């Protein structure tokens, strides 16, 4: 069996419709995955038995951001500047690559309304389970879209900022990847349609298009209007023409 769902020490039946997409994904690719119900939501076990399982503690993350921004200005954050947070202005943001919601939740904590898109069934399942287990008041401004970037962009969504963080191997990214990135690179692979997504996002004509890149990597497409450069990450920003 390629997929195992564990709850209270017992293996759950895969006939449950909530597991059907995951089961098909694993069967089609002959991938072995093990999820376990922990503290009210499902977590994905690592491929390394010595590592902790992967999950998203949404309330904990948002509360941590909330406490941090009581002491530090949001406007000092590189990502906030990149997506267009200014004074009291908070842009509406479309995050085309939600992943484990890291950047989506950070942008949400800025006070922005965020539409987060994820196409991969494994990551979608982790997001769904985590959100069902979350109650933070900020989540009223988070909209999770179970779709892919090109499909969502084709619907001409009305937002101020489009945010794109494609996954791919980068020759200049020398650091060993985090556990989650290592596992999801194996599961998801690189975003082969990244250039198509970038072009489609530019055609949408948002006020800002922000592309997250490793600091030393080459630009994904054409030269950006401005760059915000941190220690390991760079944000390439394209302004609407």
pLDDT of residue 172: 47
Instruction: Summarize pLDDT for 179-205 with one digit per residue, the tens.
Output: 566 676 667 656 678 999 999 999 999
pLDDT of residue 168: 61
Cα three-residue angle 172-175-181, rounded to 5 degrees: 100
- Whole-angstrom Cα distance, residue 119 to residue 105? 18
Contacts of 71 (CB under 8 A, 6+ apart): none
> pLDDT category, 221, cuts 50, 70, 90?
confident
More confident residue, 215 or 185: 215
Cα dihedral across residues 160, 223, 82, 171: positive or negative: positive
Averaged pLDDT of the chain: 91
Residue 63 CA: distances (Å) to CA of 66, 102, 130, 139: 5, 13, 15, 12
Residue 40 CA: distances (Å) to CA of 8, 24, 58, 133: 11, 24, 12, 6
> pLDDT category, 60, cuts 50, 70, 90?
very high
- Whole-angstrom Cα distance, residue 117 to residue 115? 7
For the whole model, what pTM was predicted?
Answer: 0.92
Classify residue 76 as exposed, middle or buried by CB count within 10 Å of its CB (0-12, 13-18, 19+).
Answer: exposed
Classify residue 241 as exposed, middle or buried by CB count within 10 Å of its CB (0-12, 13-18, 19+).
Answer: exposed
Instruction: Summarize pLDDT for 22-51 with one digit per residue, the tens.
Output: 999 999 989 899 999 999 999 999 878 888
Cα dihedral across residues 17, 130, 146, 52: positive or negative: negative
* DSSP label at residue 16: S
Domain 58-239: CATH class, spelled out? alpha beta
Angle between helix 121-132 and 179-188 (nearest 10): 130
- Domain definitions of the chain by residue range: 3-38, 58-239
Average pLDDT over residues 73-100: 96
> pLDDT category, 222, cuts 50, 70, 90?
confident
Number of Cβ within 10 Å of residue 53's Cβ equals 13
More confident residue, 177 or 182: 182
Given a cut of 80, is residue 208 above it in pLDDT?
yes
Helix (H), strand (E) at residue 11 = strand 10-11
* % of the chain at pLDDT higher than 90: 78
């Amino acid at each position: 069996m390629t997929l195992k769902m564990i709850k209270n020490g017992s293996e759950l039946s895969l006939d449950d419709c909530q597991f059907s997409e995951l089961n098909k994904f694993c069967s089609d690719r002959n991938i072995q995955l093990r999820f376990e119900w922990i503290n009210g939501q499902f977590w994905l076990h690592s491929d390394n038995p010595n590592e902790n399982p992967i999950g998203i503690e949404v309330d904990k993350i948002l509360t941590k951001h909330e406490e941090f921004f009581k002491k530090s200005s949001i406007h000092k954050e590189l990502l906030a500047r990149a997506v267009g947070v200014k004074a009291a202005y908070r842009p509406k943001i479309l995050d085309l690559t939600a992943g484990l919601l890291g950047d989506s939740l950070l942008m949400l904590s800025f006070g922005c309304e965020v539409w987060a898109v994820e196409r991969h069934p494994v990551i979608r399942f982790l997001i769904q389970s985590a959100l069902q287990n979350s109650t933070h008041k900020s989540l009223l401004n988070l909209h999770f879209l179970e779709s892919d970037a090109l499909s969502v962009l084709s619907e001409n969504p009305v937002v101020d900022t489009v945010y794109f963080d494609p996954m791919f191997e980068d020759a200049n990214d020398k650091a060993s990847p985090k556990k989650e990135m290592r596992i999801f690179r194996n599961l998801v692979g690189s975003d082969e349609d990244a250039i198509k997504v970038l072009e489609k996002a530019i055609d949408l004509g948002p006020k800002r298009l922000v592309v997250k890149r490793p600091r030393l990597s080459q630009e994904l497409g054409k030269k950006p209007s401005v760059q915000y450069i941190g220690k390991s990450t760079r944000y390439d920003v394209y302004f609407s023409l």
